[in-house]
Structure 1
Amino acid sequence: MKLLRFGAKGAEKPGLLHEDGTIRDLSGVIDDLAGESLHPDGLAKIAATDAGSLPVVDGDPRLGPPIAGTGKFICIGLNYSDHAAETGATVPPEPIIFMKATSAICGPNDPIVIPRGSKKTDWEVELAVVIGKPAKYVSEDQAMDHVAGFAITNDVSERAFQAERQGQWTKGKSCDNFGQIGPWLVTPDEVADPQDLPMWLTVNGEAMQNGTSATMVYGVRFLVSYLSQFMTLHPGDVISTGTPPGVGLGMSPQRFLKEGDVVELGIKGLGQQRQDVISDA
């Protein structure tokens, strides 16, 4: 299934993408794509619904983030061997973990907002893993039992805030509209192998990133298991798993976003996003 949320910011309704290409309204079946609805039993309930009988959503509504109630937005740094190489970093012996504020979360086509004082706002196409069932001390063999699905994220990053302003990376990762998620939450039955997904990103139509999740250092199963050793993962939690090469930071000369740019990105089978770049002047 391809699950989504549509409508004005803060007033989104749950829906799904029907096989005929229409958006169908799920609000008569579930309250939202959050909590118990993301549990395997909740997803089974949605799957058992006759999608063709659900109301068609007219027009071209705004898409919000495809899940609600995210308590943790966990990111993995330097998790692609080729991305680590382009930034001159060494692949870490264990995953680098940092948090992105949940207030950064927005819809897949909502704008990238360059924050005040920014000189180095950058892009990062990433595969997101969404938790559906609480996970604590789970093994790699059990990990996928706790995954509700996959989505695209743009882990927008302000590199000067991240690396030149002291402290942890969080301040460069958490600005408003620095966490586009969607367009859909794609359930695991539609993703044959999360470690074999081509992904891409362009700026103003120019190819910047063209990679694959095959070059991930630490894969999805490992990450879910690893993180669950340190904290309980709850339904709606998002794990953004790292980015392939082609970010502005790694270019020579470096290149960063400016007002008026257009960023487009996608992952095979998970859809694509489009964002106008605006300034928080």
Structure 2
Amino acid sequence: MPSNPQFHNLIRFLDESLVEHYGDVGEGSLDDIIGSQVELLHDANDLTRTGKKAVVHELLSPIASAPIFVCIGLNYRDHAKEAGLEIPPNPVVFTKPPDALAGPTSEIVVPSAAKMMDYEAELCIIISKTGKNIPEDDALSYVLGFTAGNDLSSRYWQRAPRSGGQYSFAKSFDGFAPLGPTILHPSFATEDLQVQTRVNGQVRQSASTKEMIFTVKQIIAHVSNGTTLRKGTVIMTGTPAGIAGKMPGQPWLKHGDVVEIEISQIGCLKNKLVFEGEQ
């Protein structure tokens, strides 16, 4: 890791004139980014400081685009247990397409075909440079940082007989991967990041990333085995127990629900769900 990181908590945002910038929240409060003044960075390819500052008017997804989302299933023992599934011997991998990307405050439009909607809080890895066959001991050198994500899922399409045992379609609708609000530089991250999901203020998931079965290094090494990881790839590292589909009564997400995914040191994304045909 660099001895002098270029940023602490990276954001992409619009200023009061609706001009897009990259900035560094620094070590300040992650609870009141909107309206705060932050140091500006040059751009996505040059994250050095400009010496200027701007006021944050609107937070955007911390990355403008992603070539692909590489997702890990069953990476928390308690989630595997609640799902009634065995602990896998290696990371279970599926993908989401680029258009699944959404911002930390975006309204998520849920198509009428996506029924039995569920949330999944996940620590996400942002890949900083293209690589292949990355060894575990070099994995962190490929990490730009970590952000929070919600692997929104239509259990209707994830369950048999419609799924055919495949996860991707159920999770690949436009906007089904909101990220943010910041990217935490890896040199500041700990192995004990607290992950929490709230639906309309009610806590649904609460866990620590130290409970993950496969570590960040192991995941990067596995998914790059014989496979090129492009710069900007997002790796979603799995969700803990507490999904709606395994709660009593299965309280699926509904029109107007507000889902908050919060990870310590990263901040909170807060998305309202808008179901097609119910506006």
Of 147, 150, 153 in structure 1, the residue corresponding to residue 149 of structure 2 is 153
Q: Does 1:80 align with 2:94?
A: no
Instruction: Tell me which residue corresponds to 2:175.
Output: 177
Q: Distance in 1 between matches of 2:106 and 2:11?
A: 15
- Residues 23 and 177 of structure 1: is their aligned pair in 2 closer, same or farther, counting only changes over 3 Å? farther
Of 21, 24, 27 in structure 2, the residue corresponding to residue 16 of structure 1 is 24
Instruction: Tell me which residue corresponds to 2:203.
Output: 207
- Residues 235 and 212 of structure 1: is their aligned pair in 2 closer, same or farther, counting only changes over 3 Å? same
Instruction: Tell me which residue corresponds to 2:87.
Output: 91
Aligned letter for 2:184?
Answer: V
Q: Distance in 2 between matches of 1:141 and 1:117?
A: 43
Q: Distance in 1 between matches of 2:175 and 2:37?
A: 24
Q: Is the 8 Å Cα contact of residues 15 and 23 (structure 1) preserved in structure 2?
A: no
Instruction: Name the one with the larger helix percent.
Output: 1
Deviations 1:8-63 (A, max 9, x none): 9xx84322224566343636x22xx2xxx2xxxx45xx2xx36xx31312xx5221
Aligned letter for 1:190?
Answer: F
Q: Distance in 2 between matches of 1:12 and 1:73?
A: 24
Instruction: Tell me which residue corresponds to 1:191.
Output: 189
Instruction: Tell me which residue corresponds to 2:13.
Output: 6
Q: Distance in 2 between matches of 1:150 and 1:20?
A: 17
1:220 deviates by: 0.3
Give aligned-pair identity as a percent. Answer: 37
Gaps of 5+ in 1: none
Q: Distance in 1 between matches of 2:131 and 2:168?
A: 24
Q: Distance in 2 between matches of 1:118 and 1:180?
A: 16
Q: Distance in 1 between matches of 2:246 and 2:122?
A: 16
Q: Is the 8 Å Cα contact of residues 120 and 256 (structure 1) preserved in structure 2?
A: yes
Aligned letter for 2:14?
Answer: G
Q: Does 1:125 align with 2:133?
A: no
Give TM-score scaled by structure 2 length.
Answer: 0.87
Let me know the Cα RMSD of the aligned residues: 2.1
Gaps of 5+ in 2: 1-7, 30-35
Aligned letter for 2:11?
Answer: L
Give TM-score scaled by structure 1 length.
Answer: 0.86
Total equivalences in the alignment: 260
Q: Which moved more, 1:115-124 or 1:145-154?
A: 115-124
Matches for 1:16-95 after TM superposition, within 5 Å: 16-19=24-27, 22-24=36-38, 26=40, 29-30=42-43, 33=44, 37=45, 42-43=46-47, 46=48, 49=49, 53-57=51-55, 61-95=57-91
Aligned letter for 1:55?
Answer: K
Matches for 1:94-113 after TM superposition, within 5 Å: 94-113=90-109
SS at match of 1:224: helix
Q: Distance in 2 between matches of 1:157 and 1:219?
A: 23
Q: Is the 8 Å Cα contact of residues 16 and 23 (structure 1) preserved in structure 2?
A: no
Q: Distance in 2 between matches of 1:133 and 1:192?
A: 22
Deviations 1:189-213 (A, max 9, x none): 22133xx111101111111001111
Q: Distance in 1 between matches of 2:81 and 2:190?
A: 28
Q: Distance in 1 between matches of 2:129 and 2:119?
A: 30
1:133 deviates by: 2.0
